[in-house]
Structure 1
Amino acid sequence: MKKIFSILSVLMITAILVYIYARFVEPNLLTVHYETINTNLLRGSDEVRMLQFSDTHVSQNFDIADLKKTVKKINEENPDIVVFTGDLIDQYNNYEYKDSIYEIWEALGAIDAPYKFAVYGNHDYGGGAEKVYNEIMEKSGFVLLINENAELSKLNLNFVGMDDSIFGSYEPDKVTSLMDQDMYNIVLSHEPDVADRFLEYNVDLFLSGHSHGGQVNLPVVSYQPALAEKYIRGFYYFDNLRQTKLYVNIGMGTSKIPLRFMAEPELSVITLKSN
């Protein structure tokens, strides 16, 4: 009986420590993940530094101060291009600071990069969020791509932004029509699992979020939302004609529960280098 009590005590203490870490420590960490991709399609520069962030889920658990800290870290990386892959505000209909929504676009507007692109995530729809998200991105200097593309001709880069695959206007045929076989095509999509739909086309790099890297990674618990069940975090490589690469960003904030465990918030810095 004494041995059982000791084991239960250890398990209880461990559970409390894990909770404290997952609730108050890991969500406040901010890591930077670096990757390099070599390509013979880059033009006009030996390398381009691109930074991706995603899933801020602005709320009482990830507030304006956290967003400003993120922006400061983004600027320290001195990116040439910044992309945001959706889910800005966690639940806009429950957001307490609607009267101060300008603080969000002021924070994002401080991101210092020559080019800034964004796409819708599933949380950027519903509860009045759709129009607000559009306004925030416009006023903060992001080009919001909704089944549209933006060509950076001098660099031979083609950014194709896909509308959210869950609540948006999912138009895969329109997206594939925007790809240029002679350019380096970068597809921005909030949900990663839809990448499989495009592997027969001219996609060089597919950037997504949505998964939160599992958010809470325990043997019996893992956050795997729809369309983020196959591709969870980091790089995936495909043996197709374009040797497509998919990067799934772990994201910044939390959803459902204000916990992160084994899924530290991250910024992704991907450097494209000319062969």
Structure 2
Amino acid sequence: MPDVSALRRVAVGAAGASALGLGYATLIERNAFTLREVTVPVLAPGASTLRVLQISDFHMMPNQRLKQNWLRELDSLDPDLVVDTGDNLSHPRSVPAVVQALGGLLARPGLFVFGSNDYFGPVPKNPFAYFDKDHDRVYGPPLPWGDLRAAFTERGWHDMTHVRRDIEVGGVRIAVAGVDDPHLERDRYETIAGPADPTADLRLGLTHSPEPRVLDRFAADNYDLVLAGHTHGGQLCLPFVGALVTNCGIDRSRVKGPSRWGSHMQLHVSAGLGTSPFVPARFFCRPEATLLTLVPAPRETNHRTLDAAAESARSPR
């Protein structure tokens, strides 16, 4: 006969541990905002160092004061450039909260693209659906993305949705291009297709969801770095295992942070700062913003230097 009292103690212990884990994930970790710092060697030889603050996936609700106050403090980092990779909203009345939280960052040079939760509000979902990459997507009510876009552009940030643009920040010449959200299949890469400017100090691509079909196109056009969000870093992760899902086409090893895509392009995926209001939890995946310090690539590994040398060797003397 099984020891009923022992089984009862095990069940009570498991329930207690689950309750503690849920409490930690919903009350503590999802509000344990952190700044991650990364150095990425992607600039042309001789270029000045560039400090880029990437922010993503706020999923802002009007009453989320802790998140808003933490975001506001990021201006003290004094970044050269701010890049917002989308999913700013989670409520029809969140635009003022986002604008006020960004504060002084909106007075700095900035670039942005939007994600699915800028266009449509969140809805309850079966969490097991995320394990099926081909699951049917359900969209919530429209969100005021046009108001958010106007607020950003009025303050000088550039909307990079299906746009190519040359800018100069801190003495660094940047050729930048972006697409609309591939998660919604709104990307139209053909509108920005073509080799990136080989004379730029940095060729920068922007997308909300890091879908391989889009990353491959950026790499083929010789972009140095692509910034993306969307994954939430897996959001609910396991010790020694990491993310269980990415909610897009990339593999779990790339769910957050820097990685190489193809022979030369760097990819950086932000784990973001928020959650859906219907799954307000993070576990082993703190909400984050990232300060990327971009420095020149070593001359012997800089693919532009190698390309130029190859072209010179092919040219008639």
Q: Do the aligned residues in 1 keep the contact of 2:82 with 2:109 (CA within 8 Å)? A: yes
Alpha-carbon deviations, 1:173-193, whole Å to 9, x = none? 223337212322111100012
Partner of 2:18: 15
Partner of 1:215: 235
More displaced stretch, 185-194 vs 155-164 = 155-164
Query: Following the alignment from structure 2 to structure 1, what is the Cα–Cα distance between the partners of residues 103 and 156?
Result: 6
Partner of 1:147: 162
Give the one of 39, 56, 59 matched to 1:57: 59
Identity rate of aligned residues, in percent?
25
Q: CA deviation at 1:113?
A: 5.9
Paired AA for residue 233 in structure 1: K
Query: Following the alignment from structure 1 to structure 2, what is the Cα–Cα distance between the partners of residues 145 and 83?
Result: 10
Over 6 Å off, 4+ runs: none
Match runs of 1:234-273 below 5 Å: 234-240=257-263, 243-255=264-276, 256-273=278-295
Alignment of 1:116 with 2:110, yes or no, is yes
Partner of 1:86: 86
Give the one of 176, 182, 195 matched to 1:165: 182
Alpha-carbon deviations, 1:21-49, whole Å to 9, x = none? 1000011111111111224516662x111
Paired AA for residue 122 in structure 1: S
Please, what is the CA RMSD of the aligned residues? Answer: 2.6
Alignment of 1:190 with 2:208, yes or no, is yes
Query: Following the alignment from structure 1 to structure 2, what is the Cα–Cα distance between the partners of residues 168 and 10?
Result: 45
Query: Following the alignment from structure 2 to structure 1, what is the Cα–Cα distance between the partners of residues 229 and 65?
Result: 20
The change in CA–CA distance for 1:222 and 1:44 in structure 2 (over 3 A counts) is closer
Query: Following the alignment from structure 2 to structure 1, what is the Cα–Cα distance between the partners of residues 76 and 96?
Result: 23
Query: Following the alignment from structure 1 to structure 2, what is the Cα–Cα distance between the partners of residues 144 and 245?
Result: 22
| Structure 2 alignment gaps of length 5 or more | 121-141, 299-317
Q: Secondary structure at the match of 2:293?
A: strand
The change in CA–CA distance for 1:273 and 1:103 in structure 2 (over 3 A counts) is same
Partner of 2:255: 232
Q: Do the aligned residues in 2 keep the contact of 1:108 with 1:140 (CA within 8 Å)? A: no
Q: CA deviation at 1:84?
A: 0.4
Structure (1 or 2) with the larger CA radius of gyration: 2
Query: Following the alignment from structure 2 to structure 1, what is the Cα–Cα distance between the partners of residues 198 and 45?
Result: 13
Query: Following the alignment from structure 2 to structure 1, what is the Cα–Cα distance between the partners of residues 160 and 103?
Result: 17
Paired AA for residue 28 in structure 2: V
Q: CA deviation at 1:228?
A: 5.5
Count matched residues: 264
| Structure 1 alignment gaps of length 5 or more | none
The change in CA–CA distance for 1:188 and 1:239 in structure 2 (over 3 A counts) is closer
Q: Do the aligned residues in 1 keep the contact of 2:39 with 2:294 (CA within 8 Å)? A: yes
